[in-house]
Amino acid sequence: MNDDLREQGPRRVGQVKEVTSLSNPIVKDIKALSLKKARDETKSFMAEGLKLVIDALDLGWTIKILVYSKAGRGKPLVEKVAARTVAAGGLVLEVSEKVMSAITRRDNPQMVAGVFEQRFRALKDVQLGRDETWVALDRVRDPGNLGTIIRTADAAGASGVILIGDCTDPFSLETVRATMGSLFAMPLVKTSVEEFVRWKAKCGGQIVATHLAGAVDYRTIDYKRKPVVVLMGNEQSGLPDELAREADALARIPQAGRADSLNLAVATGVMLFEARRHLLTLGEAR
Amino acid sequence: MNDDLREQGPRRVGQVKEVTSLSNPIVKDIKALSLKKARDETKSFMAEGLKLVIDALDLGWTIKILVYSKAGRGKPLVEKVAARTVAAGGLVLEVSEKVMSAITRRDNPQMVAGVFEQRFRALKDVQLGRDETWVALDRVRDPGNLGTIIRTADAAGASGVILIGDCTDPFSLETVRATMGSLFAMPLVKTSVEEFVRWKAKCGGQIVATHLAGAVDYRTIDYKRKPVVVLMGNEQSGLPDELAREADALARIPQAGRADSLNLAVATGVMLFEARRHLLTLGEAR
Ligand SMILES: [Co+2]
Ligand SMILES: [Co+2]
C-alpha cells in the first residue's frame, strides 16, 4: 500500500497530480477503501460530493486526499476546496472520468470525492448533557440501515450514535452514502457490551431499550427527567438479555399489521421523535 | 417467452417437474422476472421464503409457480404448499441449489420461492372507512424505500398504499424483499396525478401532505376528524405544487440537524405513527 494514506507527518504540498491511469498506486489505494481491511489499516474512508466535502472541512474533519474529475477544473468551489486540502497537508488529484467512476464504483460519479481520516469518540468521553439524546445500536448489520439511522439521529437532534459489539462499519461507502452528510455531524462511538454496561452505571442518563417483549408503551415513558439513550436491538435477533436488563425502560412500539417488526431505521426514527418530542419545534428547527 | 406465465386457463396439474438446467425455459422465464418488462407482460412477480409463500396463499394471492430446492423435498410444510399450488392450478418445480441461486440471485437462497399474479386495487374502489389511514407516494424512486414504506404502513395499521405517477415497481425483487411479507397484506393502488386529484375531491378523507415548506407542525393536526391520506413527496424534489395544493394540511416534521431531510421511509413512519397515534395501543396490537 502506498504511503499517501499511511503517513502521518507533513507531505509535499501545493501541487495537483493529474491521473488518468487505473493502475496509479494512489488510485489503487483509494479503490481499496471499499474493503474494510484497507479502511481499518489506514483509518481512512471516502465520501463523495462537493458539498459534503466542504461540510466535512467546515466541521474540522481531516482530509487526506481530494479527488476531482476534469469537469471540476477551474470551478471556483473546487479550486477553493483544493486549496484548503493543500493547506491541510493533503493531496489533490485531478482524474479522468473513468478513474472517478472506478474510485466511486458509479456510472455517473460525482465531480468530487474526499478521503478523510476516520474519527471515533471514546465512550468514556461521552458525558450526557441536559436534553441530550443518544442512540445506541446493538450489532447493527445492514450498512444502509446504519447510514439511515445516523441521518435520522442528526435530523432528530440527537447528540451521537454508540455502536455496541460487532456492528457494520460506519465508514463503508454504502453507509457513508446513506448518511447523506450526517456522518460528519454525528459523533460515533464504538464499544463493547461490557464497556457500555460499565459506562451506563455512571452516565447519569436513562436507557430506553426498544424490545419486542417490552411491556411499556413507548409514548408513556418520561423522557424529560434525564438524558436518554435509545437502545435498539439488532435486525435479526433483537436485544440480548445482557443489554435488555440494563435498560431503565423496555419500550414497545404498538404494531398493528402482519409485519413482525418495523425496519430498524424506521423504528429508531419513531423512537427518537418520541424521545425528543418536547424538544423539537418548528421554530427552533434550523 | 414460455406459456407458463402467460396462460390464464387451466393447465396440467398434479406433477412436480425436476429441473437442474439453467437453460430450462421455465427457469429462464422466472429469471426474466428481474426485468420490469417481463413482470409487466406476464403480470407476475417472485417472492422468496416458505413462510411468505404460505402467508400469500392464506391471503388469497394466486400462485403460478412454486419453486423449491432439493433440500425441501419431503418436508411437510413444503409438500403442503406444493399440494396447494397444484390445487390452485399452478406448477411445481423442484430445482437444484444452482438453479435456485440463479432464480433468486443469491448465494444462499431460500428453500422456497413463488411466482404470483400481480394485484392492484383500482383507486375508484378505495373507499375510506372510519379510522382508516392510507399512504400516498408521489413518484417514489428507490425500491428499498418503497418496500420499507409498505412494511411500515402494515406495521402502523394503515389500509393501503397509493402510488402516484411514475413510481418504482412495487413488484421488483428488491421492493418485495424489503416489504418482509407486508406486500401481500397491503392493498396497492397505481394512479396518475389527475385521477388522484379527482378521487380526492370525493374521497371523504383529509390529505395530509408532508412538505419541507409545510407551515404546520405534524403533531398539531387533528387526525381524528376524518380518515387520513398521508401524502409524501418524492426523494429528490419533494411534492409538486399540483399535489401540494390538494392537501388539507401541509405538515412539517421539525428537524434539528444538518441533514436536509429525513429518509423518505423514516419520515413516512414518523407521520404514520403520529396520524394513528390515537388508534394504536399495545393492547390492541396483534
Ligand atoms: Co429478549
Ligand atoms: Co413546493
Residues B86-99 pLDDT 10s: 999 999 999 999 99
Same domain, A136 and A235: yes
Query: Chain B closest CA to A147's CA: distance in Å?
Result: 10
Predicted confidence at residue B237, as pLDDT, reads 83
Q: What confidence category does residue A245 fall into, taking pLDDT thresholds of 50, 70 and 90?
A: very high
Per the domain annotation, does B286 fall within a domain? Answer: no
Instruction: Tell whether B149 and B40 lie within a shared domain.
Output: no
Region B182-207 average pLDDT: 96
Rg (CA), chain B: 21
Q: How many domains, chain A?
A: 2
Distance A239 CA to ligand 1 centre (A): 6
B110 within some domain? yes
Q: Are both B79 and B217 inside the same structural domain?
A: no
Angle at B27 between CA B26 and CA B31, to 5 degrees: 120
User: Are residue B104 and residue B213 in the same domain, yes or no?
Assistant: no
Choose among A186, A255, A286: nearest Cβ to B285.
A255
Confidence at residue B269, expressed as pLDDT on a 0 to 100 scale: 98
Same-domain status, B127 and B268:
yes
Q: DSSP states of chain A as a string?
A: --GGGT--S----S-EEEE--TT-HHHHHHHHTTSHHHHHHHTEEEEE-HHHHHHHHHTTPPEEEEEEEGGGTT-HHHHHHHHHHHHTT-EEEEE-HHHHHHHHT-SS--SEEEEEE---B-GGG----TT-EEEEEES---HHHHHHHHHHHHHTT--EEEEESSPPPTTSHHHHHHHTTGGGTS-EEEE-HHHHHHHHHTS-SEEEEE-TT--EETTSS--SSS-EEEEE-BTTTB--HHHHTT-SEEEE----SS-SS--HHHHHHHHHHHHTTTT--TTT--
Residue A184 lies in a domain: yes
Tell me the three cell numbers of residue B229: 391520506
Between A286 and B239, residue with greater pLDDT: B239
Contact at CB, A280 and B252, closer than 8 angstroms: no
CB A25 within 8 A of CB A31: no
List the single residue in A with minimal CA-CA distance to B212.
A282
Report whether B46 contacts B175 (CB < 8 A).
no
Q: Tell whether A84 and A129 lie within a shared domain.
A: no
pLDDT in tens, B154-188: 999 999 999 999 999 999 999 999 999 999 999 99
How far is it, in rounded angstroms, from Cα A91 to Cα A65? 5
Q: How confident is the model at residue B256 (pLDDT cuts 50, 70, 90)?
A: confident
Here the ipTM equals 0.91
The residues with which B49 forms a beta bridge, in sequence order, are none
Label residue B3 by pLDDT band (50, 70, 90).
Answer: low
Tell me the three cell numbers of residue A93: 488529484
Q: Could you tell me the CATH number of the domain that includes residue B181?
A: 3.40.1280.10
Q: Which amino acid is at B3?
A: D
Buried b or exposed e, range B80-98, using 16+ CB within 10 angstroms: ebbebbbeebbbbbbbeee
User: Of B266, B272, B274, B279, which to mutate for an interface test with A (greatest number of A Cβ within 10 Å)?
Assistant: B266
Buried b (16+ CB within 10 A) or exposed e, B127-140: ebeeebbbbbbbbb
Closest CA of chain A from B55, distance in Å: 10
Indicate the residue among A85, A117, A149 that finishes a domain: A117
Verify that B166 and B81 share a domain, yes or no: no
The CATH number given to whatever domain includes residue A10 is 3.30.1330.30
pLDDT for A261: 78
Tell me the per-residue pLDDT of B118-158, one tens digit each, with 9 for 90 and over: 999 999 999 999 999 999 999 999 999 999 999 999 999 99
Specify if A280 maps to a domain. no
Q: Which cell goes with A167?
A: 456492528
Q: What is the DSSP string of chain B?
A: --GGGT--S----S-EEEE--TT-HHHHHHHHTTSHHHHHHHTEEEEE-HHHHHHHHHTTPPEEEEEEEGGGTT-HHHHHHHHHHHHTT-EEEEE-HHHHHHHHT-SS--SEEEEEE---B-GGG----TT-EEEEEES---HHHHHHHHHHHHHTT--EEEEESSPPPTTSHHHHHHHTTGGGTS-EEEE-HHHHHHHHHHS-SEEEEE-TT--EETTSS--SSS-EEEEE-BTTTB--HHHHTT-SEEEE----SS-SS--HHHHHHHHHHHHTTTT--TTT--
Residue B11: predicted pLDDT: 46
Going from the C-alpha of A115 to that of each of A4, A10, A77, A121, the distances in angstroms are 11, 16, 18, 19
Residue/partner pairs of A118-125 with CB below 8 Å, 24 or more apart:
A118/A39, A118/A43, A118/A44, A118/A45, A118/A171, A119/A61, A119/A188, A120/A188, A120/A189, A120/A190, A121/A160, A121/A187, A121/A188, A121/A189, A122/A189, A123/A162, A123/A189, A123/A191, A123/A195, A123/A196, A123/A199, A124/A199
Ramachandran bin of B131, using left for φ above 0, alpha for ψ from -120 to 50, beta for the remaining angles: left
B181: nearest CA partner in chain A: A259
How far apart are the C-alpha atoms of A203 and A54, rounded to whole Å? 34
Residue A282 lies in a domain: no
User: Among residues A117, A143, A166, which one ends one of the domains?
Assistant: A117
Report pLDDT for B235.
82
Please judge whether B254 and A182 are an interchain contact, meaning their C-beta atoms are less than 8 angstroms apart. no
Q: pLDDT digit string (tens) for B10-65? A: 444 457 889 999 999 999 999 999 999 999 999 999 999 999 999 999 999 999 99
Tell me which of B237 and B259 has the higher pLDDT. Answer: B237
Nearest to A47 by CA among A185, A153, A189, A183: A183
Q: Is A236 contained in some domain?
A: yes
| Partners of residue B266 in chain A, C-beta under 8 Å | 148, 151-152, 265-266, 269
Give the model's pLDDT for residue A215.
Answer: 81
Let me know: does B150 contact B144? Beta carbons within 8 Å.
no
Question: Distance from A105 to chain B by nearest Cα, in Å?
Answer: 18
Domain that holds residue A58: 3-117
**Closest partner CB to A270 (pick from B55, B154, B270):** B270
- For residues A282 and A279, give the distance between their C-alpha atoms in angstroms, rounded to a whole number: 10
Q: Is the pLDDT of residue A60 over 50?
A: yes
The predicted structure's pLDDT at residue B10 = 45
The amino acid at B7: E
- A259 and B180 within 8 Å at the Cβ level: the answer is yes
User: What's the A163 CA to ligand 1 centre distance in angstroms?
Assistant: 19
Residue B246 confidence (pLDDT):
92
* Residue of B132, B180, B273 to mutate for A, most A C-beta atoms under 10 A: B273
Residues of B in contact with A151 (CB under 8 A): 259, 262-263, 266
CB atoms A152 and B263 under 8 Å: yes
Q: Do A68 and A173 have their domain in common?
A: no
- Say if residue B235 is in the same domain as residue B250: yes
Q: List, for residues A144-186, the tens digit of each pLDDT value.
A: 999 999 999 999 999 999 999 999 999 999 999 999 999 999 9
What's the CA-to-centroid distance between A243 and ligand 1, angstroms?
A: 9
- B177 contacts in A (CB within 8 Å)? none
CB-nearest partner of A265 from B252, B263, B286:
B263
Q: Do A138 and A100 lie in a common domain?
A: no
Span A210-236, average pLDDT:
90
The answer on pLDDT for A233 being more than 70 is yes
Q: Does residue B179 sit in the same domain as residue B100?
A: no
Closest B-chain CA to A285: B256
A-chain CB neighbours of B262 within 8 Å are: 151-152, 155, 269
Task: Please tell me which residue of chain B has the smallest CA distance to A261.
Answer: B155
* Cα A168 to ligand 2 centroid, rounded to whole Å: 37
Task: Identify which ligand lies nearest to the alpha carbon of A243.
Answer: 1
CB contact under 8 A, B155 and A219: no
Among A163, A121, A166, A123, CA closest to A146 = A163
Interchain CB distance below 8 Å, B261 and A155: yes
Whether residue A67 lies inside any domain: the answer is yes
Average pLDDT, chain A: 92
Q: Is the pLDDT of residue A12 over 50?
A: no
What span, in angstroms and rounded, lies between the C-alpha atoms of B56 and B50? 10
Where does a domain end: B68, B95, B117?
A: B117
Residues of A within 8 A of B158 (CB-CB) are 257
Instruction: State whether A186 and A223 are in the same domain.
Output: yes
Q: A275 pLDDT exceeds 50?
A: yes
In a domain? residue A239: yes
| pLDDT surpassing 90 at residue B236 | no
